[in-house]
C-alpha cells in the first residue's frame, strides 16, 4: 500500500484551494479582519516553522523535547499494553519529537502502525522519506489532510486500539470552545483504554511568552507575513508585504498570544482569484493566530468536559510545558 494518503477534497466536494480562496474572501471582508492560522503551512511556511522551533526564544520545542526524552520509557509504558495499536500523530510536521517515542517503541519491539497527519503535503513526503531511512521497520501510513479528515480516519478505524498524539501545543491555535469540541470529537472515536497525549504550553512570565513570538531575528514575523505571500502566490494577490508588519501581543488574563498583520498605510489590495479589492485603513490589523497558554487545572477541566481523565502529567524542569496523558 502507498505510504501517503492524500485527502484533497472537503466533504462537500470542494477542493482545498477553493476553500483557501473562500476563507480569505470571508476573512478579509469581516470587521475586524482575520485569516486562519491553518493557512500558514504551505511548503515555505512549514520550512519557516521548522526554523521557529530551532529559535532560542521559542522555548516550547526544547521544553517538549526535554519532557519526551526524560520520560519516554514511562510514557510508552502507558500505551496499549497488549497487542497492536495505531499511533495517530495530529499535526505531525517533521515529527522530530515523535521520533523519540517511535525509537523507544521500536527498542521495546512494540507492534504498532504510525499514522502522521498534517495539512502540509511537503512535510508528510519528507517525513515518510526520513522515516524510511532512519526507522525502516516502522509501519507508516501518512495522511495529508485537515484535522477533521483525521477524525474521519479515526471513525473508520474505531475498533482498533489507539493512542492519539496532539503535541507541540497545537491545540492552542483553537478558540477555547473549538478546542473542547475537537477533544470531544476525538473522544467519540476512542474506546476504553485508548490514550491521548496532549502537549500544552503553560502560563508563565508574560515576557518569556512575548519573546517567543517576537524573536530577535524576525523568523516569526516572516512566518506570519508568508500568509500574505501565499495569497499572492496561490490566489494572485497583489499584497505589498513591505506595507504590513507582524505584531504579536500576550493577554495574561485570557492566557492567549494573539498575532496580527498590521497595515502600515491606507491601501487597497486586489486578489485576482477572488476578483475583489480589499481596503485597509492605516494601522488596520488582520488577526492571524491564537496561541493559548493554559494552567494545569484548565487542562484537567477541558479533559473532564470531553470525557478524558488525566493519567499522568509530564513536565520539564522549569515547568514551562506539559505533556498530559489522558485516558478514556
Ligand atoms: C504550532 C501552533 C504550536 O502557536 O506556538 C509559532 C505556531 N506561531 N510561532 C504556536 C507558531 C508563531 C505554534 N503552534
Does ligand 1 lie within 6 Å of residue 173's CB atom?
A: yes
Does ligand 1 lie within 6 Å of residue 200's CB atom?
A: no
Does ligand 1 lie within 6 Å of residue 45's CB atom?
A: no
Task: Pick from 223, 288, 291, 321 the residue to mutate for probing ligand 1's pocket: most ligand atoms within 8 Å of its CB.
Answer: 291
Determine the distance separating the centroid of ligand 1 and the alpha carbon of 226, expressed in angstroms.
14
ipTM of the complex: 0.99
Residue whose CA is at the smallest distance from ligand 1 atom 10: 291
Instruction: Please report the pLDDT score of residue 28 as a whole number.
Output: 98
Instruction: Please report the pLDDT score of residue 190 as a whole number.
Output: 93
Cell of 268: 487597497
Of 313, 322, 295, whose CA–CA distance to 78 is shortest? 313
- The DSSP letter of residue 39 is G
pLDDT digit of tens for each residue in the chain (328 aa)? 457 777 655 555 556 667 899 999 999 999 999 999 999 999 899 999 999 999 999 999 999 999 999 999 999 999 977 789 999 999 999 999 999 999 999 999 999 999 999 988 888 999 999 999 999 999 999 999 888 788 788 788 878 899 999 999 999 999 999 999 999 999 999 999 999 999 999 999 999 999 999 999 999 999 999 999 999 999 999 999 999 999 999 999 999 999 999 999 999 999 999 999 999 999 999 999 999 999 999 999 999 999 999 999 999 999 999 999 999 9
Does ligand 1 lie within 6 Å of residue 27's CB atom?
A: no
Does ligand 1 lie within 6 Å of residue 220's CB atom?
A: yes
Residue whose CA is at the smallest distance from ligand 1 atom 1: 170
Determine the distance separating the centroid of ligand 1 and the alpha carbon of 291, expressed in angstroms.
6
| Entry field: residues in the chain | 328
Instruction: Please report the pLDDT score of residue 147 as a whole number.
Output: 82
**pLDDT tens-digit series, residues 10-51:** 555 556 667 899 999 999 999 999 999 999 999 899 999 999
CB atoms within 10 A of CB 8: 11
Determine the distance separating the centroid of ligand 1 and the alpha carbon of 191, expressed in angstroms.
30
CB atoms within 10 A of CB 13: 7
Amino acid at each position: 500500500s502507498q505510504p501517503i494518503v492524500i485527502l484533497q477534497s472537503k466533504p462537500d466536494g470542494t477542493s482545498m484551494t477553493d476553500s483557501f480562496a473562500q476563507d480569505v474572501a470571508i476573512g478579509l471582508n469581516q470587521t475586524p479582519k482575520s485569516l486562519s492560522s491553518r493557512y500558514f503551512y504551505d511548503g515555505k511556511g512549514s520550512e519557516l516553522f521548522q526554523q521557529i522551533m530551532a529559535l532560542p526564544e521559542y522555548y516550547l520545542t526544547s521544553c517538549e523535547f526535554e519532557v519526551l526524552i526524560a520520560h519516554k520509557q514511562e510514557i510508552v509504558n502507558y500505551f496499549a499494553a497488549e497487542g497492536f495499536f495505531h499511533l495517530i500523530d495530529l499535526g505531525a510536521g517533521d515529527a522530530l519529537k515523535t521520533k523519540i517515542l517511535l525509537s523507544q517503541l521500536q527498542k521495546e519491539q512494540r507492534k504498532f502502525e504510525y499514522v502522521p497527519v498534517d495539512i502540509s503535503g511537503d512535510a508528510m513526503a519528507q517525513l515518510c522519506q526520513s522515516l524510511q531511512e532512519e526507522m525502516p521497520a516502522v509501519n507508516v501510513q501518512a495522511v495529508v489532510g485537515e484535522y477533521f479528515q483525521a477524525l474521519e480516519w479515526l471513525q473508520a478505524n474505531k475498533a482498533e486500539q489507539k493512542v492519539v498524539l496532539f503535541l507541540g501545543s497545537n491545540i492552542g491555535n483553537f478558540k477555547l470552545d473549538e478546542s473542547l469540541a475537537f477533544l470531544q470529537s476525538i473522544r467519540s472515536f476512542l474506546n476504553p483504554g485508548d490514550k491521548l497525549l496532549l502537549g500544552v504550553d503553560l502560563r508563565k512570565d508574560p515576557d518569556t511568552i512575548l519573546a517567543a513570538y517576537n524573536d530577535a531575528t524576525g523568523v516569526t514575523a516572516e512566518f506570519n507575513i508568508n500568509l500574505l505571500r501565499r495569497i499572492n502566490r496561490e490566489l494572485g494577490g497583489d499584497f505589498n508585504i513591505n506595507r504590513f508588519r507582524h505584531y504579536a501581543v500576550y493577554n495574561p488574563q485570557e492566557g492567549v498570544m494573539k498575532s496580527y498583520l498590521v497595515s502600515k498605510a491606507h491601501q487597497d489590495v486586489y486578489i485576482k482569484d477572488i476578483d475583489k479589492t480589499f481596503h485597509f485603513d492605516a494601522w488596520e490589523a488582520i488577526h492571524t493566530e491564537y496561541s493559548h497558554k493554559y494552567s494545569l487545572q484548565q487542562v484537567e477541566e477541558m479533559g473532564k468536559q470531553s470525557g478524558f481523565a488525566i493519567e499522568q502529567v509530564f513536565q520539564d524542569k522549569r515547568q514551562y510545558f506539559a505533556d498530559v496523558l489522558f485516558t478514556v
